[in-house]
Each structure stands twice: as structure tokens, then as C-alpha cells.
Amino acid sequence: MTDPSYQLVAAVEAALADYSGLAVIVACSGGPDSVALTLTAAKLAPKHNWQLQVVIVDHGWSELSAANAQFAADQLKEHGVDQVEIVAAPQTPAENREAAAREIRYQILQRKSDELNGAPVLLGHTKDDQAETVLMRLVRGAGSKALAGMAPVRGIFVRPLLELDRAVVHAAIPETFSVIEDPANYDDSYLRVRVRKTVLPVMKAELGEDVVLGLVRSAQLLRVDSEYFVTETLNQFNECVIDNQLDVSALEKLHAAIRTRVIQYWLAEAGVPTGSLHQIHIKTVDELVTNWHGQKEINLPGGFDVKRSGNRLTISH
């Protein structure tokens, strides 16, 4: 096997090959994936004149959270990473806590990037994380965009390790570094933990080790389709929207695959919370176009209402 450290170096350099700026941000939790990424970026910083900024977000989920964050920061400094910032995140709601924490974390990282003129933010997701994500979304009945998994690049966020096995990434960590294991990674109340600990191992045992590769390959193929759908959806949205309302006649001409995406995009643009917007909501709104029989207004998450008035779909809050 090629030296794990070399594989990480090659992956990070490839991910930032077109970047000509100086500041580079790494999101680090103290866990093995993000530690390996941080140390690799630190190793490359002198070669590329990068000004490395490491951000550790402390969600305060346990009594040891602050101490663990400081422990991770101290170890990084001992391993030559000087610029490490610990940010205390606001309290996350109990409902859907994992998704809420992720959103807060990305907001914090976005602000840090804004302070540094749009510097890229490196995230430590691996090939195994991608497979888990695709599998979880598959069982939830997601569409092609969601099944495309995590993007290698999304705005400022860059995932250099997305094509590397978790085992390879972990093997690149020096023995002198003590990583922090997040207790949430062992909490079976989280779907991701059950997928990681139980579902994928059974699938590998029954279907072969290539299960992860197959899930990742499917995500890559769907990403190509998804990118086309995104472009076509935006084009058709511009043709269908009039004064923030959707023209029913224009929608009726569209294939269902594009029409429903135009509706979803319109709802999101109006402010409907995307995390609470499900397929049943979009289908119900779509029926105002395809199965109109005088339905009353439709209630959507976030206190939004959609109704059909003549030849237009309107949304209010």
C-alpha cells in the first residue's frame, strides 16, 4: 500500500491545486479524520506559503467538551500547528440536534472564511463517510441530488479526503498524537452510528468489501445528473417566476422531474426551511398544478402558505 501520509499530501495538494491565495482554514474536531487532515495541511503550508488557520468548534455537549477542545488545540500546537482557535457554539436545540449542530458549525466556518477574504475551509470527510451518507439518504427516500452525497467542493468548503478510505486516513496520524473519540460516535440513537457500526459491516460481510466503493461510485454518477438538473431547474425557474409567483401555464409544460425541482427551489428562495421541507410538501404543492380542483391553501413548515390564485401559485408568511 502506498504510504498513507503521501496519499493525504497528494489529496490535499490536488484539492487546492487551483487556489492562489494564502489563508487556508481547517475545521478540526480533535477526531482522527480532521486531525490527519490538519497535520497534512500544516506539513504542506511552508511549501505553498499557506497561512494555516485551524478552527475547533465546541458544541458543549458534555462536561468534557471544553477540556477536549483545549486538549486537541494543545496537541496541535505541540505538533507545529500554531494558529488554532476554539469557538464555543451556541446551544443546539434538542430536536434534530446533529443536523442543527452541523448548520451552526458551517455558519461559524463561513464567518471565519469571510474574515479571511473567502479562504477555503478544509473538511475531513472520507470515502467511508460518503458511503454512510448515501446509504442513510437512500433509506430515507431521497432524490438524486441528495443521493449524490457530499460534494468535493461546495462554495468555500473543500473535502480533500473524500476518495480516501478511513483506514488510510487514520494510518497517517503519528503515534505521538492522541486523538479524541467523540462519545456521539458510539451513541446508537444516531442513525449514522447504526449505519457505521452495524449496517455497513453486515453489508460488507454479505455482499463483499466493494460495497463502500459501489455506494461512492453511485454518488459520483448521480452528481453528474444532479448538476444538470440544477442548471436546468434554474433556467426553467427564471421562465416560470413572475413577481415572486409561479406561472401555472409555464409549469404545466415542464417534465415532472424539472417541475417539482422548480417548485422546491421557489419554496426555498421564499424562505421555507429546507431542513423541514419534505417530498410530501412538494408533491402537495405540485398537485395545485397537476390535479387542480379548488384545493385550499397548503400549510408548509416555517409558517408559510401556498395557494393557487387563477393561473399563479403564490406564497405568504
Q: What is the CATH number of the domain that holds 257?
A: 3.30.465.60
Same domain, 165 and 265: no
Residues near 114 by beta carbon (within 8 Å), at least 6 away in sequence: none
Residue 271 covered by a domain: yes
For 283, phi then psi, to 5°, come to -60, -40
pLDDT digits (tens, 9 = 90+) for 111-167: 999 999 999 999 999 999 999 999 988 887 777 888 889 999 999 999 999 999 999
Same domain, 56 and 173: yes
Supply the pLDDT for residue 228. 92
Residue 237 covered by a domain: no
Residue 229 covered by a domain: no
Supply the pLDDT for residue 1. 58
Q: Which of 211, 234, 251 is the last residue of a domain?
A: 211
Same domain, 186 and 250: no
Read off the pTM.
Answer: 0.83
Same domain, 83 and 177: yes
pLDDT digits (tens, 9 = 90+) for 16-33: 999 999 999 999 999 999
Same domain, 196 and 251: no
Same domain, 27 and 81: yes
Section 271-278 average pLDDT: 86
Q: Which tops the pLDDT comparison, 133 or 190? A: 133
Cell output for 220: 459520483
Same domain, 26 and 173: yes
Using an 8 Å Cβ cutoff, are 15 and 123 in contact?
Answer: no
Supply the pLDDT for residue 94. 67
CATH number for the domain including 133? 3.40.50.620
Same domain, 255 and 148: no
Same domain, 114 and 160: yes
Residue 70 covered by a domain: yes
Whether the pLDDT of residue 66 is over 80: the answer is: yes
Percent of residues, the chain, with pLDDT higher than 90: 80
Supply the pLDDT for residue 220. 92
Residues near 43 by beta carbon (within 8 Å), at least 6 away in sequence: 9
Closest C-alpha to 313, from 265, 253, 244, 264: 244
Whether the pLDDT of residue 169 is over 70: the answer is: yes
Same domain, 267 and 202: no
Domain that holds residue 258: 243-316
Percent of residues, the chain, with pLDDT higher than 70: 99
Parallel, antiparallel or unpaired: strands 23-27 and 84-88: unpaired
Using an 8 Å Cβ cutoff, are 279 and 300 in contact?
Answer: no
Supply the pLDDT for residue 186. 81
Supply the pLDDT for residue 194. 92
Same domain, 48 and 125: yes
Residue 238 covered by a domain: no
What is the total count of domains within the chain?
Answer: 2
Residue 76 covered by a domain: yes
pLDDT digits (tens, 9 = 90+) for 228-271: 999 999 999 999 999 999 999 999 999 999 999 999 999 999 99
Ramachandran assignment for 75, one of left (phi > 0), alpha (psi -120 to 50 degrees), beta (any other) = alpha
Cell output for 216: 461512492
Same domain, 168 and 295: no
Q: What confidence category does residue 185 fall into, taking pLDDT thresholds of 50, 70 and 90? A: confident
Residue 221 covered by a domain: no
CA distances to 106, 217, 288 from 89, rounded to whole Å, are: 11, 35, 41
Supply the pLDDT for residue 304. 96
Parallel, antiparallel or unpaired: strands 23-27 and 121-122: parallel
Residue 233 covered by a domain: no
